[in-house]
Amino acid sequence: MRGRTIVVTGAASGIGRAVVLACARRGARIAALDVDEAGAASAADEAVENGAPDATGVSCDVSSPESVASAFARAEEAVGPVDGVFANAGIEMNGPLHTFDVEQWHRVLEVNLTGVFLTCREAISRLTQRDAPGSVVCTSSPAAFVGFAGGGNSAYAASKGGVSAFVRSAAIDYASVGIRVNAVVPGATDTPMLLGTEDAHEGLRRIRAAAAEQIPLGRVAEPSEVAAAVVWLLSDDASYVTGTQLVCDGGLMAKSANTF
Ligand SMILES: NC(=O)c1ccc[n+]([C@@H]2O[C@H](COP(=O)([O-])OP(=O)(O)OC[C@H]3O[C@@H](n4cnc5c(N)ncnc54)[C@H](O)[C@@H]3O)[C@@H](O)[C@H]2O)c1
């Protein structure tokens, strides 16, 4: 990772921020992109404090083609040509689908799925213009593969199912030019998204109790644990890995609810 330029979307918080720090500790140059401009700038500052030779925070709405194009241009101007990208920005809106309005549906798909397409398109076109190899990692979810027992997750699940399918096809398209494309599939991870709109204290108590009962490893993930999987996919250690879904979920998807 040393000296490589890594672009991270959703970099201000949670899993994205943990990936920024993990890459910084390995000596990568960082472009931290987020719709939260102040959060992106502070992630970049923290990257430098943690060993990144260079880092920049850039405002970016991944659902807008213009915003993504200008963010990549600003990022490359500041920290050099992109070598790897973590297309991670995402939102969650829940509710039974018959209560969902079309604007909510579109917003979830625009950020989670179109945002991944736009981020990857920008990164891959810049890599191919330079004839450079690269690594692309996209954030999926167990919701791409299984229905959440809590329900109300159709739009989010559809967006993440799309991300996982997108990754498989893109991996085949770019394997011949040395660009690997993979997904990370984090289970329940201790970030603001996990808490949603719940009261922090009560929400955490409820989630920790449910995790201890339902997740084989008995707890939710720390963002740094998911980041370790992402850094591996971004690095040359994963040089023969493309088109895969790296599940990092404490055993959640391996487990059936049946006790008989
Ligand atoms: N936390 C979990 O349990 C969990 C589990 C599986 C998958 N995920 C996925 O991981 C990814 C990161 O989520 P997190 O848990 O770190 O959440 P988070 O809310 O802590 O971070 C998400 C970040 O994305 C940014 N963002 C939102 N909309 C954006 C947009 N339009 N353009 C640019 N940035 C935008 C937010 O400002 C925020 O900084 C998401 O794709 C999420 O779906 C999370």
The residue-averaged pLDDT of 161-187 equals 98
Domain ranges of the chain: 5-186+225-247, 193-220
> Which of 72, 156, 166, 174 is the catalytic position?
156
Summarised one tens digit per residue, pLDDT across range 21-69 is 999 999 999 999 999 999 999 999 999 999 999 999 999 999 999 999 9
Is 174 one of the catalytic residues?
Answer: no
Q: How far apart are CA 157 and CA 145, in angstroms?
A: 8
What pLDDT does 235 receive? Answer: 98
Cβ–ligand 1 distance for 14 under 6 Å, the answer yes
Q: How far apart are CA 29 and CA 44, in angstroms?
A: 10
Centre of ligand 1 to C-alpha 224, Å, is 14
pLDDT at 257 over 80: no
What pLDDT does 29 receive? Answer: 98
Output the six-digit token pair for 205. 């108590």
Cβ–ligand 1 distance for 62 under 6 Å, the answer yes
What pLDDT does 259 receive? Answer: 73
What pLDDT does 198 receive? Answer: 67
Cβ–ligand 1 distance for 150 under 6 Å, the answer no
Summarised one tens digit per residue, pLDDT across range 76-130 is 999 999 999 999 999 999 999 999 999 999 999 999 999 999 999 999 999 999 9
> What's the DSSP call for residue 167?
H
Centre of ligand 1 to C-alpha 193, Å, is 7
Protein fold of 5-186+225-247: Rossmann fold (3.40.50)
Sign of CA dihedral 170, 19, 211, 248: positive
Give the CA radius of gyration of the chain. 18
